[in-house]
Chain A
Amino acid sequence: MQEQDNNLFSDLSIDESAKKNIAGIASWAMIIVIVAVIGYVIEVISLFTAGSSPVDQSEGFGAYLRVGSEGAGSKIFAIVIGVVLNYFLYRFAVLAKKGLATNGMDDVSDSFRNLKIYFAIYSILVIIVSLLILLAIVAVL
């Protein structure tokens, strides 16, 4: 009985300090999302404006333009992945703030679920990039 009471009182809680920290994480996460979205908008605009430039007038820059057009595909792919990643970060920020404001345990749990997905996607991306680099090195050697 004594041990049960001890366990009960030694449970972790989201105290004032934890709340401040989670709120801080959520605020910075929201800033990161906003900055990323502005960056994506700039990227998309620059893709469209670059695409409208006349190709025939660029004598002597054929190779550069070919690389540029291939780069557009990879840029769009990167933007799509970035949007997906930032969606989960955004969900984390919104749910964490809501959970802290209302003392909603479910919201805070859901927010950390979204943060987990965010880090999981990032980890898988890093593994894929590492494998691609390794393959490229093996191909060169």
Chain B
Amino acid sequence: MEENQDLFEFKVDDTMAQEMNETSRWSRLFSILVFILCSFFLLILIVKGQQLAAIFSLQMATSESTAVFSVIIIFVVLAMAVVGLMMYFLLRSANRIKEGLRLKDQELFNRGLTDMKTYFAIFGVVSILGLLLTLLSLL
């Protein structure tokens, strides 16, 4: 039975290991860069939040500008939280795959792939929601 199962498995050769290692390196860099960018935006929102609100209310020139600005801020913070969660899974995936390959740890390697699947699943759901919102805005 186990022999049959082994027939459907294949070893990670040097080329595949190298490609996976480089993929995890680039995905790690990408997630760290996005973390930095999100932190930077949050810092601007915290430090210059009141100035931004004043500029926004001048541009809108309506009584509801504060409420609209609050909704935008909540939306931006929520979006950053989702992006942060995605990047957390991507970073963990990159670290686990890299360590799994280095230590030849099958379980760590598989958990890294699970994290990458979670990252792509969240990305997929966010993409579908984005498309639905675009379609709704066209109606």
Q: Which residues of A contact B (CB under 8 A)?
A: 10-19, 21-22, 24-25, 28-29, 31-32, 35-36, 38-39, 42, 46, 103, 105-106, 108-110, 112-113, 115-116, 119-120, 122-123, 126-127, 129-130, 133
**Which single member of A32, A39, A119 contacts B134 (CB below 8 Å)?**
A39
Residues of B within 8 A of A133 (CB): 37, 40
Interchain CB contact under 8 A, A13 and B106: yes
Roughly how many angstroms separate A113 CA and B26 CA in the complex, as a whole number? 11
Q: Is B30 in contact with A21, judged by CB distance below 8 angstroms?
A: no
Are B109 and A18 neighbours in the complex by a CB distance under 8 Å?
yes
A115 to chain B, nearest CB (A): 5
The 8 Å CB contact of B12, one of A14, A42, A106, A126, is A14
Chain B interface mostly: helix
Q: Given A22-B113, A29-B120, A112-B19, are A126 and B134 neighbors across the interface (CB < 8 Å)? A: no
Please pick, from A10, A25, A112, A119, the residue contacting B30 in the complex, using a CB distance under 8 A.
A119
Interface presence of B68 (CB below 8 A) = no
- Is the CB–CB distance between B17 and A32 below 8 Å? no
Main secondary structure of the interface of A (DSSP, over half): helix
Nearest CB on B from A96, distance (A): 11
User: Which residue on chain A has the smallest CB distance to residue B121?
Assistant: A28
- What residues of chain A lie closer than 8 Å to B131, measured between beta carbons? 35, 38-39, 42
Q: How far is the CB of B91 from chain A (nearest CB, A)?
A: 12
Return 8 A-B CB contacts under 8 Å, by A number.
A13-B106, A18-B109, A21-B113, A109-B16, A116-B22, A119-B23, A119-B30, A120-B26
Q: Which residues of B contact A21 (CB under 8 A)?
A: 110, 113-114, 116-117
Expressed in whole angstroms, the minimum distance between the Cβ of B98 and any Cβ of chain A is 12
Whether B11 contacts A13 by the Cβ 8 Å rule is: yes
